[in-house]
């Protein structure tokens, strides 16, 4: 029986509370599908399971457009956290750089922004969520493509 079938059979019962076996089945489903997190709700019980190291791995694996000179500098020590000024996605979804198709983007590299200015919109579950600037500064680098999927913790841009 696959992890998905096991999960369905465990959640179809009317047991109150959280079932440890259902959590194990969700964990197996994460491994089976390659997902980083999963959440289910049934019969009043909600279970959310996420891989422990997934968020750090996602942030480290975020696509970053870099200049050739930066790529040729392997002597720099790897940082233990996100780059200073990095603005990360607070959710999983699709990122949009403009308020609607055909409109200019919210921000461009080199642009000055104030705290609270909208940088992007992340669509999650058919809801448009504006991503505000956490502080004032200059856009140093945009790390995502318009319309691309983003993960929780993925770097969207670098604010200087």
Q: Considering the domain boundaries, does residue 41 fall inside one?
A: yes
Residues 94, 31: one domain? no
Domain of 134, in residue numbers? 81-159
Q: How many domains does the chain have?
A: 2
Q: Considering the domain boundaries, does residue 62 fall inside one?
A: no
How do strand 137-142 and strand 155-159 relate by DSSP bridges?
antiparallel
Distance, CA of 98 to CA of 105 (rounded, Å): 4
Please report, in tens digits, the pLDDT of each residue of the chain (160 residues total). Answer: 665 565 555 555 554 555 677 777 777 776 777 677 777 776 666 677 776 654 444 444 444 444 444 444 444 445 555 677 889 999 999 999 998 888 999 999 999 999 999 999 999 888 899 999 999 999 999 999 999 999 998 999 999 8
| 159 contacts 85 by C-beta, under 8 angstroms | yes
Residues 154, 86: one domain? yes
Model-level pTM?
0.49
CA-wise closest residue to 2 among 24, 32, 22, 27: 32
Q: Considering the domain boundaries, does residue 106 fall inside one?
A: yes
User: HSE of 73 in the Cβ direction (CA atoms, 13 Å)?
Assistant: 8
Q: Considering the domain boundaries, does residue 10 fall inside one?
A: yes
How do strand 112-113 and strand 93-96 relate by DSSP bridges?
unpaired
Distance, CA of 21 to CA of 106 (rounded, Å): 46
């Amino acid at each position: 029986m696959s992890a998905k079938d096991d999960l369905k059979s465990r959640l179809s019962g009317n047991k109150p509370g959280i079932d440890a076996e259902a959590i194990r089945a969700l964990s197996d489903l994460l491994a089976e599908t390659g997902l980083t997190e999963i959440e289910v709700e049934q019969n009043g019980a909600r279970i959310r399971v996420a891989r422990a190291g997934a968020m750090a791995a996602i942030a480290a694996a975020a696509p970053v457009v870099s200049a050739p000179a930066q790529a040729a500098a392997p002597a720099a020590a790897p940082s233990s956290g996100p780059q200073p000024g990095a603005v990360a996605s607070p959710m999983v979804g699709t990122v949009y750089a403009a308020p609607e198709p055909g409109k200019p983007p919210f921000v461009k590299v080199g642009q000055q922004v104030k705290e609270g200015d909208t940088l992007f919109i992340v669509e999650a579950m058919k809801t448009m969520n504006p991503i505000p600037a956490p502080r004032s500064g200059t856009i140093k680098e945009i790390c995502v493509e318009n319309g691309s999927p983003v993960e929780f913790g993925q770097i969207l841009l670098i604010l200087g």
